[in-house]
Amino acid sequence: MIVLQGNDITVSFGERTLFSDVNFAVDENDKIGLAGVNGAGKTTLFRMLSGNGPEDWSGKIVKQSGLSIGFMEQHVLRNDSISVYEEALSVFKPLIDIEAELENLHSRIDSGETSNELLERQMHLTEKFQSEGGLTFRARTESMLTGMGFSSDSFGKQVSVLSGGERSKLQLIKLLLSGAKLLLLDEPTNHLDIEASEWLESFLTDFKGAYIVISHDKYFLDKVTNKTFALDNGTLDIYKGNYSEYLRQYDERVIFLTKKYTEMTEEIHRIEGIIEQQKRFNQEHNYITIRSKEKQIERIKKELVPPPPPRKKIRFRIPCRAAHGTDVITAEGLSLSIDKKLLFHNISFEIKYGERVFLLGANGCGKSSLMKLMLGMLKGEGKAYIADWLKIGYFDQLQELRLTSSKSTLDFVWDDFPKLNRTQVQSALAMFKLYGDQLQKPVNTLSGGEAAKVILLKIMLEGPNLLLLDEPTNHLDLDAREGLIEALSDYAGTMLIISHDRSMINSLATKLMFLHKDRIEIFSGSYDEWRESLQEKTGQTLFRSDVRKDESDGGKTGRVNAYKQQKEHQSILRRLNTRIKRIEDEIEETERGISGLNDRLAEGSDDYQKVMEDSENLSQLELRLAKLMDEWEKAQRELEEAGNREV
């Protein structure tokens, strides 16, 4: 069933048309990836679908009656003075209001008020509360916060002290809890570590509804989408399948349509040659042939559609200086504390020449700090040795934010490499899709993606034989990421990379190093190979020292740490105790109702109709009591089993 449809949508900004005559439909269970280069209009389209688009547009957006759309921008954090938990819980304000009213009703009934109106209101609200998830909304909120990387200790943190990444995650949590039937997810994996990304993948896989997602994370898109909307060159094309399947189909389509266009163009030229020949004959019957051939050309031209352009890939090579040994990095007993907070202690490892190592771990565990410690940019304990014959190319994930120079992009690169001529510098920048007016932009006005490209280009021109890259793909679009991965695949030197990009890890890694507080865990192989090995080892630790247990009921397995397991176990016990308390309250209320009706029937009445109503109500309450007693016994058994379960 179609829940949302766009017909002939055109958006313009001044004289520039962003896209035109866009048509699409979203079915109730569609999992859609919205692809397109930066600036194609993806976020603009999202805003339009959420009702916050630009004024200057034409066309029609048709929504299913009652459709609730959740867009991350709608779930802003408006109150900085409340806690993380309270902010996440604010999504359930209607349920919280019902809960408060029920508590008030319970108090009134406990104090002796037993009017039918009061009991009916209580029964109505209880059923509404339960049917809308009132018994689980707190547990779901806690699970969502934990899954997205908030420790239970941080639930009480004020929103005002959250980092930009934590605020983004909290907005995403509110969106996922909102109950919307269509989600618009704009870069949802930004600021997420790998574990949180996997948790989000699991959530979306089980999501009962539709969503459209914009992401520069190819691995994520391939996991969570089954349809792709490609918004590019001012049009929107629809492909069945995930992002990788879209790329395959797009390339095949370009080849097919280019071949067809060439054949039709050649046919037009052939017919035009016949027409010229007929004109030279200059005989009366030749004019009939000429007219017939001209009509044939007109028919072909009506069907002649220029093929879409082939994908513009970033292609470059990172030259590598000769190696003079095999030992590259040796770390012994590294320890570091920042602001009296211990990040890691007694960390030791070795990296040999030619290895492609990825340093992984949860956000905040100290990966970037470890890299800076090795480079001597931070002071800690222990020893870090980097061979002195190495030329290091270092990419700081925050470096692009420090480009404060007002030099043009061209001069910013050229000044560091004066031996190159202007054409060589322009050609190098063009490899990163930086050309035209972009070359004259001051570097302090570059976007995050443009700045990252400039820094990567300068690293490339230096010809390092050791690359230390801290989140190099953070601001790069999918094409740029693909180009960087291809360049690194051909790179002959050694690399140590911090990244959450699982597509990059799978393509490049020969070794994974997981940073824990007191050790480095090493695995030889790719990310998917590591995941497969974990499936064979029950209880294998994750980089949060976790053993993640499946949170869904679909047979999927995961890992949570022992601490999280304990907290979940406590949460289960709390929920069961709360459930038993609610059932006991209802039993007590029902017994009071039965007692009241029995007393009234015992008194006798001349009102036959009233006696019949009381008898019927008594029968209903007795059935309700029997059902509640069964529920109470079942909950008690579950509580006993949960209490005996080892954690």
Q: Which amino acid is at 357?
A: V
What is the CB neighbour count within 10 angstroms for residue 62? 12
Mean of the pLDDT values across residues 63-72? Answer: 88
φ, ψ for residue 540 (rounded to 5)? Answer: -60, 140
Phi/psi of residue 302, nearest 5 degrees = -65, -30
Sheet holding 466-470, edge to edge: 392-395, 466-470, 494-498, 356-360, 511-515, 520-523
Spatial contact of 441 and 408, defined as CB atoms under 8 Å apart: yes
Return the C-alpha torsion angle 466, 471, 473, 475, nearest 10.
-130
| Per-residue pLDDT, 378 | 92
pLDDT the model gives residue 381: 94
- Residue 119 to residues 114, 597, 609, Cα–Cα distance (Å): 7, 13, 21
More confident of the two residues 252 and 321 = 252
CA angle 532, 533, 537 (to 5 degrees): 120
Cross-strand bridge partners of residue 357: 496, 511
Within 8 A by CB and 6+ apart from 176, the residues are 144, 183, 203
Residue 144 corresponds to which tokens in the numbers above? Answer: 């969502």
Give the Cα separation of 294 and 288 in Å (integer): 10
Residue 402: the pLDDT is 60
Asked whether the predicted pLDDT for residue 213 surpasses 50, the reply is: yes
Among 98-112, 255-269, 402-416, 596-610, whose mean pLDDT is lowest? 596-610
- Residue 647, pLDDT above cutoff 80: no
DSSP state letter for 379: -
Cβ neighbors of 205 (< 8 A, separation 6 or more) are 223, 224, 556
Helices H / strands E in the chain, number of each: 19, 20
The pLDDT, as a whole number, for residue 614 is 75
Q: Could you tell me the strand order of the sheet in which 341-352 lies? A: 341-352, 327-338, 381-386
As a whole number, mean pLDDT of residues 392-405 equals: 77
- Residue-wise pLDDT for 336-377, tens only, equals 998 888 999 999 999 999 999 999 998 888 999 999 999 999
User: What confidence score (pLDDT) does residue 223 get?
Assistant: 93
Q: Which H or E run contains 518?
A: none
Asked whether the beta carbons of 41 and 61 are under 8 A apart, the reply is: no
Query: What number of other Cβ atoms are within 10 A of residue 516's Cβ?
Result: 19
Question: Quick one: tokens of 551?
Answer: 């949170």
Amino acid letter at 2?
A: I
- Assess contact for 53 and 44: CB atoms under 8 A: yes
Closest by CA to 136, choosing from 513, 578, 483, is 578
pLDDT score recorded for residue 1: 87
In this structure, how many other beta carbons lie within 10 angstroms of the beta carbon of residue 467?
22
Residues 6+ apart with CB under 8 A from 514: 360, 361, 520, 521, 522, 523, 542, 543
Q: What confidence tier does 113 reach under pLDDT thresholds 50, 70, 90?
A: confident
Q: Which residues pair with 61 in a beta bridge?
A: 6
For residue 496, which of 464, 541, 458, 534 has the smallest C-alpha distance?
464
- 561 pLDDT above the threshold of 70: no
Q: Is 513 in contact with 357 (CB distance < 8 Å)?
A: yes
Residues of the chain with pLDDT > 70, as a percent, come to 91
Give the E-state strand segments of 14-161 in sequence order: 16-27, 31-35, 57-63, 69-71
Amino acid at 416: D
- Check whether 563 has a pLDDT greater than 50: no
Predicted pLDDT of residue 282? 66
Residue 606: HSE in the Cβ half-sphere, 13 Å Cα cutoff: 0
pLDDT at 572 over 60: yes
The Cα 84–Cα 104 span in angstroms is 27
How would DSSP label each residue in 610-629? HHHHHHHHHHHHHHHHHHHH
β-pair type (327-338, 341-352): antiparallel
Alpha helix segments (H runs only) across 354-477: 367-374, 409-414, 422-431, 448-462
Does 278 or 204 have the greater pLDDT score? 204
Among 130, 129, 128, 108, smallest CA distance to 119 is for: 108
- Six-digit token pair at 378? 């931070």
E strand residue ranges, 324-423: 327-338, 341-352, 356-360, 381-386, 392-395
| N-terminal to C-terminal alpha carbon distance within the chain | 44
Residues forming beta bridges with residue 393, ordered by sequence position: 467
Name the residue with higher pLDDT: 177 or 574. Answer: 177
Lowest mean pLDDT among 111-115, 129-133, 236-240: 111-115
Give pLDDT, residue 559.
36
pLDDT at 543 over 70: no
Containing H/E element for 183?
strand 182-186
Range among 445-449, 458-462, 628-632 with highest mean pLDDT value: 458-462
Range of lowest pLDDT (209-218, 344-353, 394-403): 394-403
Distances in Å between the Cα of 520 and the Cα atoms of 360, 362, 384, 559 are: 10, 13, 14, 19
Non-local CB neighbours of 306 within 8 Å, separated by 6+ positions: 261
Interval 522-540 mean pLDDT? 79
Among positive and negative, which fits the CA dihedral 507, 392, 192, 356?
A: positive
Tokens found for residue 14: 């001044």
pLDDT(249) > 90: yes
Mean pLDDT across the chain, nearest whole number? 85
Strand extents, DSSP E, 525-578:
546-547, 560-561
Interatomic CA distance for residues 444 and 403, integer angstroms:
5
* The pLDDT of residue 74: 58
Task: Give the whole-angstrom CA distance, residue 407 versus residue 581.
Answer: 69
Phi, psi of 497 (to 5 degrees): -125, 135
Residues 294, 95: Cα–Cα separation, whole Å: 72
Pinpoint the alpha helices (H) of 375-526.
409-414, 422-431, 448-462, 478-489, 502-508
Residues 6+ apart with CB under 8 A from 535: 557
Instruction: Give the confidence band of 335 by pLDDT, cuts at 50, 70, 90.
Output: very high
Q: Name the pLDDT band for 397 (thresholds 50, 70, 90).
A: confident
Write the pLDDT tens digit of every residue in 293-319: 889 899 999 888 888 888 877 788 888
Average pLDDT over residues 603-616: 72
Radius of gyration (C-alpha) of the chain in whole angstroms: 33
pLDDT tops 70 at residue 560: no
Q: Given a cut of 80, is residue 600 above it in pLDDT?
A: no
Q: Where are the alpha helices (DSSP H) in 282-375?
A: 284-303, 367-374
Query: How high is the pLDDT of residue 625?
Result: 83
574 versus 596: the higher-pLDDT residue is 596
